[in-house]
Amino acid sequence: MSNERSAETPIVEVRNLLKFFPITSNSIFARAKGDNKAVNGISFALQPGETLGLVGESGCGKSTAGRTLLKLYEPTSGQIFFKGEEITNYSPRKMKALRTKMQIIFQDPYSSLNPRHSIGEIIGAAFAIHGMGVGADSQSSRSNSGKGGIKRAVQDLMERVGLNPEHYNRYPHEFSGGQRQRIGIARALALKPEFIVCDEPVSALDVSIQAQVINLLDDLKDDFGLSYLFIAHDLSVVQHISDRVAVMYLGKIVEIAPTEEIYQRPHHPYTKALLSAIPIPDPVLESAREQIVLSGDLPSPSNPPTGCVFNTRCWKAQARCFSEEPLLHVVGKSEVACHFPE
Amino acid sequence: MSFLDVNDLRVEFPTSDGVVRAVDGVSFSVDRGETLAIVGESGSGKTVTNLALMGLLSPRASRISGSAIMHQPSGDVELINLPSEQARKIRGKNIAMIFQDPMSSLHPYYSIGDQIIEAHQIHNEVEHEVSKARAIELLEMVGIPEAATRMRAYPHQFSGGMRQRVMIAMALVNSPELLIADEPTTALDVTVQAQILKLLRELQRDLKMAIILITHDLGVVAGAADRVNVMYAGKVVESAPVRELYANPLMPYTHGLLSSVPRMDRSHGTRLSAIAGQPPSLIALPPGCAFAPRCTFSTRVNGGPSLCASTMPPLVEHAPSHFARCHLEGAKL
């Protein structure tokens, strides 16, 4: 029985995850003035081989959610599971061993690469840190034994992500933003992880390259049985790569549904507005359709609205939306946190 | 009538590895009230083209040739290699620019009010109070609530979308005739992008200014542009009115770009048709068509792939005001 269940064990699961960042005053006797409630109670499970898209505007907590579940940030409360094992309170040492299995591709290819290291060093660092390729660990040395082995492995990776392997000794500043993002992807792939948090991995890339990378991520997923948490603000990209999509707003998941469903039948008003804001690359369709242009910005996550978090920008908000917080409930094939779903 | 005529613009950067031909013989014109989109991948020369027009390239690091005539009631002005003293008078006055990253293009130590006032004071010999009133007017125009109070705020106190609005307000403070918007919404969220694009459309309608919109986002182009120039490896490879370009792309690169965009109105799970390979190095450009190594249509060319590899096709008008640079017979894809 337990063996059967293990096949269905989610690769990653979070339960009621909270991540608050304290806001302190400038005084030297810094006292917390409040909390930036970046992630305010989210739960989801990711099955092996599945891609969950996590979308929302900047400041909605999607990146924080991704980093917290990798324990790059200590969660404020809640539980994190990796392959059924709770890792919420893992020590840094235990986490380090686990990090070969869980990787991240960062959003900003400028600040995530050390400008003083050649890209060979940057990508090869993963092997060095985890003792691979120095011959010390017979199991992991594989074909990477010795410096030449690492170089060859790194160059294979570079080629795989669309970089010229001859650029092994170049420095990050010699690459375009798009190419730098590929370096970051190569680095994440180096240790053949099982789960990757892709934090806006293609938003810095050109369309033709973006398509290559989406296809590449797709291929790698199939070849290595990877699972992705794919964080992005671009819903058309997410649509292509995800099996399910979760929409975040102000630290909460407001809608989670299979991809087809969320694009064809969005139930939450925010999801609807988000979808309508995406420009369609067709001038005829684009001028014909009606756009919902939301007014205003995201409210401050340190002081989220009471009731529904979206009530300040929602055109359907009624008295109940200001007094009672809607919880995720099943509507059709989706789960929606709205009192008046579409 | 056209506001700006660019003719055979070339920008070269000598480097220790060789000469980078960032812009290689680009010609176009922009009419008043028109939005010209320049689309291309990173390194295609779209930004450098406009930096050259604005006189923002260091003469020590770059070699610029060709011409860019700005038509003024007082006479034509040649923008290329204009002495910096004169370029400064045009920059921010006749031609203004907004950049992709509103955080790094605003000064973090000055209040946004002071920065907008400064932009006005440089070009107008008026009292500080006049500039201040103008700054508040602009902030209101771009939709910043409580503009008079927010004048004292600093860039870090604004969200990305609000910062971009401040950038737009600053660019428009002297009522420019041409606004160069270099990836103005790339750093923004889609809902905010929709707000900013709507704002730019409304401002253009009210102020009758020309806009050069530099972007890689074909979705943004579809909704915002009148005319599109597609750039590749420093050259304009296709130029057409926006609807014509999307309905009937003639250059294989444009065709590839359009089909590689993930689209929401198509079913999910379909594989994107990516363009194989990478853009060529601008140092060692092949003698022929720069796109030939990545092109899947070159086998159908009369004369075969060898023609594409050896001879650069000219920019030919295949349909009314639809230009493309391709050897393919009648450019039928």
Mutate to test the interface with B, among A51, A208, A268, A270 (most CBs of B within 10 A): A208
Three-state SS letters, A161-191: CCCCHHHHHCCHHHCCHHHHHHHHHHHHHCC
User: Is there a contact between B218 and A281 if contact means CB atoms under 8 Å apart?
Assistant: yes
Three-state SS letters, chain A: CHHHHHHCCCCEEEEEEEEEEEEECCCCCCCEEEEEEEEEEEEEEECCCCEEEEECCCCCCHHHHHHHHCCCCCCCEEEEEECCEECCCCCHHHHHHHCCCEEEECCCCCCCCCCCCCHHHHHHHHHHHCCCCCCCCHHHHHHHCHHHHHHHHHHHHHHHCCCCHHHHHCCHHHCCHHHHHHHHHHHHHCCCCCEEEEECCCCCCCHHHHHHHHHHHHHHHHHHCCEEEEEECCHHHHHHHCCEEEEEECCEEEEEEEHHHHHHCCCCHHHHHHHHHCCCCCHHHHHHCCCCCCCCCCCCCCCCCCCCCCCCCCCCCCHHHHHCCCCCEEECCEEECCCCCC
Give a yes or no: residue B52 inside a domain: no
User: Is there a contact between B262 and A210 if contact means CB atoms under 8 Å apart?
Assistant: yes
> What is the nearest CA distance from B42 to chain A, expressed in angstroms?
7
B267 pLDDT above the threshold of 90 = no
Mutate to test the interface with B, among A54, A163, A206 (most CBs of B within 10 A): A206
User: Is there a contact between B190 and A278 if contact means CB atoms under 8 Å apart?
Assistant: yes
Return the residue of B nearest to A204 by Cα.
B186
- Tens digit of pLDDT for each residue in A269-279? 999 998 888 88
Give a yes or no: residue B315 inside a domain: yes
- Model confidence at A137, in pLDDT bands (50, 70, 90)? very low
Across the interface, which of A207, A218, A277 has its CB nearest the CB of B190? A277
The mean pLDDT value of chain A amounts to 85
Mutate to test the interface with A, among B278, B283, B295 (most CBs of A within 10 A): B278
- Model confidence at A142, in pLDDT bands (50, 70, 90)? very low
Chain A neighbors of B267, CB-CB under 8 A: 260
Least confident of A38-52, A200-214, B25-39, B64-78: A200-214
Give the model's pLDDT for residue A147: 59
Give a yes or no: residue B111 inside a domain: yes
Domain C-terminal end among B125, B155, B174:
B174
CA distance A145 to A80: 35
User: Is there a contact between A293 and B194 if contact means CB atoms under 8 Å apart?
Assistant: yes
Domain C-terminal end among B131, B155, B174:
B174
Domain C-terminal end among B125, B159, B174:
B174
Run of H or E including A7: helix A2-7
Give a yes or no: residue B192 inside a domain: no
Give a yes or no: residue B312 inside a domain: yes
Residues found in chain A: 342
- Tens digit of pLDDT for each residue in A242-279? 999 999 999 999 999 999 999 889 999 999 998 888 88
**Cβ atoms of A51 and A241 closer than 8 Å:** yes
Token duo for residue B195: 């707000």
Mean pLDDT value of segment B5-30: 94
* Domain of B297, in residue numbers: 251-331
Chain B neighbors of A282, CB-CB under 8 A: 222, 246, 265
- Tens digit of pLDDT for each residue in B210-246? 999 999 888 899 989 999 999 999 999 999 999 999 9
> What is the nearest CA distance from A203 to chain B, expressed in angstroms?
9
Give a yes or no: residue B186 inside a domain: no
- Model confidence at A30, in pLDDT bands (50, 70, 90)? low
> What is the nearest CA distance from B222 to chain A, expressed in angstroms?
4
Give the model's pLDDT for residue A135: 41
Number of structural domains in chain B:
2
CA distance B326 to B305: 12
Across the interface, which of B192, B268, B274 has its CB nearest the CB of A211? B274
Q: Helix, strand, or coil here: B239?
A: strand
Give the model's pLDDT for residue A5: 43
CA distance A336 to A342: 10
> What is the nearest CA distance from B89 to chain A, expressed in angstroms?
32
B128 vs A5, higher pLDDT? B128
Give a yes or no: residue B12 inside a domain: no
**Cβ atoms of A276 and B212 closer than 8 Å:** no
Give a yes or no: residue B196 inside a domain: no
Question: In the A/B pair of chains, how many CB contacts fall below 8 A?
Answer: 144
CA distance B43 to B63: 17
User: Is there a contact between A297 and B192 if contact means CB atoms under 8 Å apart?
Assistant: yes
Across the interface, which of A215, A280, A298 has its CB nearest the CB of B271? A215
Token duo for residue B157: 């106190």
